[in-house]
């Protein structure tokens, strides 16, 4: 039995076996082989297994997201049998006597680059598909496991996880996350908080742990490998006590989020996709304060259509039955990359071409999303908020585009609803001119994750800077206070949707400042409600 220290991003206890996830691209090496026939047989067997996996994924997607979204897995099955692709791989194995992993990786890179350089948009989009099928085959050949193939409840251990990887997971099989890298504001951490499961970062992980029994103690910041029976029994008792405490919190369901002195706060939930709705309902959120719409793009192999987006937004609006649903327009770029957007590499992506800057540059993508949102608003209480605003001019440009979208919908007779429009305060620039911005919008939602990194000049994805990251820095608190005051002067409301909204050390501070709304991960709704109800 061994113990390893980590840093908590969400508390709790998990007891189960480890699923060690290793990125395939880091493991491919060029090797000479002796038995060509055996290597060809390995390649063919890996292909067949890949097609079987894709068949399972197709059936799963068919049930969960419909035939249109499931078709990509059928396309991938056909691409695996592409004659040119197969000839290239086999030629490298036979003529150069190279291992199958390297042959597939090289062929995949060559074909992906070829498609990416084509003029036709359809073929350009196939570049990402080639990479996908190649990585799947290499994963099988090298014996590594894919995050999309979790078959039983497990503790997921990895170097790090990108947003595009977390969206593939079967969330019902995840008991806990443990990563070597990452930060408290990483998307893996956000997912853990949304799912209400324990998670640790900064752990010295080891591939040899795969399949071993383990205990994650998120409360004590530690991971226990190969625990003995006595330790397992001890933690089972602790977990039972945890569950009892959660049951006590359930008595707060249906009760108002109001202090003893009568100060009311709207307590909403943050979600990444439609599948999170169950947690929102179970934890009795008063609404959805942040629907991260970019996950619709991360989950897709191509630009999601207006109809696909409309159906997702409509389902959320209908399920929330009149409660407010605030949809953030796509916030891609920085650490959230999507191949088919072809955003390119940037020296400083966190401060680069991202979020509203993409929308105001590629207005066709923006208009498609806005049309879907306005249409869905006919079925519920939907509001929109725009991320990464830095100027009044950007807001005025957005208003012009919105007016065009509404005019187009009216002309074609498509029904749409009235939508509150707000902006996210994520930059010091927006905070400083919040008095001017408040005259142009219906509400402010403060994104403290980005506001913190931009104010402190600290990249929140850079692990070397953790010791300098003070999330309670007085500058952050002062900016939030300024934003709330300026909002109230213009008669609009101001909320917090960043991770500081769920920071229990700051709950009383938000009450003192007069924050109108807190949007947090579903699992934090009831604990925050208790804190507010216990406050004077």
Q: Is 497 a catalytic residue?
A: yes
Q: What is the pLDDT of residue 229?
A: 92
CA triple 387-390-393, angle to 5 deg: 105
- Would you write out the chain's pLDDT as a tens digit for each of its 536 residues? 899 999 888 888 999 999 888 765 546 788 898 899 999 999 999 999 888 888 877 776 666 556 665 677 788 888 899 888 999 999 999 989 999 999 999 998 888 888 877 777 666 767 778 888 888 888 888 776 666 667 788 998 988 876 556 656 777 788 898 988 877 666 667 777 777 788 898 899 998 898 899 999 988 889 999 999 999 999 998 888 888 777 777 788 888 999 999 999 999 999 887 878 888 888 899 999 999 988 887 777 778 889 989 998 999 999 998 999 999 998 876 555 556 566 666 667 677 777 898 889 989 999 999 999 999 999 999 999 999 999 999 999 999 999 999 999 999 999 999 999 999 999 999 999 999 999 999 999 999 989 999 999 988 667 677 778 888 999 999 999 999 999 999 999 999 998 899 999 999 999 999 999 999 988 889 889 999 999 88
Q: What token pair was written down for 159? A: 């170097």
Determine how β-strand 213-217 pairs with β-strand 493-496: unpaired
Architecture per CATH, 2-22+148-247: 3-Layer(bba) Sandwich (3.50)
Q: Is 359 a catalytic residue?
A: no
Query: Please, what sign has the CA dihedral across residues 487, 489, 492, 495?
Result: positive
According to CATH, what is the number of the domain 24-142?
1.10.274.10
Sheet holding 154-158, edge to edge: 2-5, 222-225, 213-217, 13-21, 154-158, 174-179, 199-201, 7-10
Residue 463's Cβ-side half-sphere holds a number of Cα atoms within 13 Å equal to: 12
Question: What is the residue whose two structure tokens read 């602790």?
Answer: 238
Distance CA 111, CA 203 (A): 37
Q: What is the pLDDT of residue 339?
A: 63
Q: What is the pLDDT of residue 258?
A: 92
Given CATH 3.40.50.300, say whether it is the number of domain 258-534: no
Cβ atoms of residues 199 and 176 within 8 Å: yes
Q: What is the pLDDT of residue 395?
A: 97
Distance CA 506, CA 120 (A): 52
Q: What is the dihedral of CA 512, 513, 514, 520, to 10 degrees?
A: -90
Distance CA 358, CA 366 (A): 8
- Count of other CB atoms within 10 angstroms of residue 341: 17
Catalytic residue of the set 187, 472, 473, 488: 187
Catalytic residue of the set 76, 154, 359, 497: 497
Beta bridge partners of 514: none
Determine how β-strand 199-201 pairs with β-strand 213-217: unpaired
Determine how β-strand 420-425 pairs with β-strand 443-446: parallel
Distance CA 477, CA 473 (A): 7
Cβ atoms of residues 130 and 111 within 8 Å: yes
Helices assigned H by DSSP within 354-493: 356-361, 363-376, 392-411, 428-432, 434-437, 448-456, 474-489
Q: Is the pTM of this model over 0.85?
A: no
Burial class (CB in 10 A: 0-12, 13-18, 19+), 81: exposed
Question: What is the residue whose two structure tokens read 């929330």?
Answer: 320
Q: What token pair was written down for 444? A: 């402010």
Q: What is the DSSP string of 229-288?
A: HHHHHHHHHHHHHHHHHHHHHGGGTT---B-TT--B-EEEEEESSGGGHHHHHHTT-SSE
Cβ atoms of residues 508 and 535 within 8 Å: yes
Q: What is the pLDDT of residue 340?
A: 59
DSSP-derived secondary structure letter, 336? B
Enumerate the domain spans of the chain.
2-22+148-247, 24-142, 258-534
């Amino acid at each position: 039995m061994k113990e390893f220290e980590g840093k908590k991003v969400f508390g709790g206890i998990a007891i189960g076996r480890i699923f060690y996830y290793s990125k395939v691209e880091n493991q491919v090496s060029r090797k000479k082989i002796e038995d060509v026939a055996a290597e060809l047989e390995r390649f063919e067997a890996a292909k067949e297994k890949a097609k079987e996996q894709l068949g399972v994924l197709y059936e799963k997607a068919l049930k969960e997201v419909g035939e249109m979204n499931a078709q990509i897995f059928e396309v991938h099955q056909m691409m695996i049998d592409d004659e040119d692709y197969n000839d290239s791989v086999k030629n490298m194995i036979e003529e150069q006597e190279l291992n199958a992993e390297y042959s597939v990786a090289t062929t995949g890179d060559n074909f992906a680059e070829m498609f990416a350089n084509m003029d036709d948009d359809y073929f350009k989009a196939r570049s990402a598909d080639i990479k996908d099928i190649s990585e799947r085959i290499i994963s099988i050949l090298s014996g590594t496991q894919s995050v999309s193939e979790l078959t039983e409840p497990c503790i997921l251990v990895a170097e790090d996880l990108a947003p595009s990887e977390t969206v593939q997971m079967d969330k019902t099989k995840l008991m806990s996350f443990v990563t070597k890298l990452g930060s408290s504001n990483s998307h893996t951490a956000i997912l853990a908080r949304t799912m209400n499961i324990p998670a640790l970062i900064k752990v010295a992980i080891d591939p040899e742990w795969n399949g071993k029994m383990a205990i994650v103690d998120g409360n004590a910041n530690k991971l226990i490998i190969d625990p003995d029976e006595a330790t397992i029994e001890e933690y089972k008792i602790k977990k039972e006590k945890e569950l009892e405490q959660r049951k006590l919190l359930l008595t707060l369901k249906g009760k108002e989020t109001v202090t003893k002195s009568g100060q009311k706060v709207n307590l909403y939930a943050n979600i990444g996709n439609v599948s999170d709705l169950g947690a929102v309902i179970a934890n009795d959120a008063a609404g959805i304060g942040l629907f991260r719409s970019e996950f619709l793009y991360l989950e897709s192999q191509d630009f999601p259509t207006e109809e696909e987006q409309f159906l997702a937004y409509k389902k959320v609006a209908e399920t929330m039955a009149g409660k407010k649903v605030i949809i953030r327009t796509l916030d891609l770029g920085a650490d959230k990359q999507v191949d088919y957007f072809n955003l390119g590499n940037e020296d400083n992506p966190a401060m680069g071409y991202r979020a509203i800057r993409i929308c105001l540059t590629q207005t066709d993508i923006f208009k498609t999303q806005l049309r879907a949102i306005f249409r869905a608003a006919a079925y519920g209480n939907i509001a929109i908020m725009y991320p990464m605003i830095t100027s009044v001019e950007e807001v005025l440009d957005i208003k012009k585009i919105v007016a065009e979208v509404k005019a187009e919908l009216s002309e074609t007779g498509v029904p749409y609803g009235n939508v509150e429009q707000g902006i996210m305060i994520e930059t010091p620039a927006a905070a400083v001119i919040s008095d001017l911005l408040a005259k142009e919008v219906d509400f402010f939602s403060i994104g403290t994750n980005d506001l913190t990194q931009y104010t402190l000049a600290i990249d929140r994805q850079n692990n070397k800077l953790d010791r300098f990251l003070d999330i309670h820095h007085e500058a952050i608190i002062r900016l939030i206070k300024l934003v709330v005051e300026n909002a109230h002067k213009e008669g609009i409301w101001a909320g917090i949707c960043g991770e500081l909204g769920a920071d229990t050390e700051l709950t009383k501070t938000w009450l003192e400042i007069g924050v109108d709304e807190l949007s947090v991960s579903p699992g934090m709704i009831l604990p925050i409600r208790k804190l507010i109800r216990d406050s004077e």
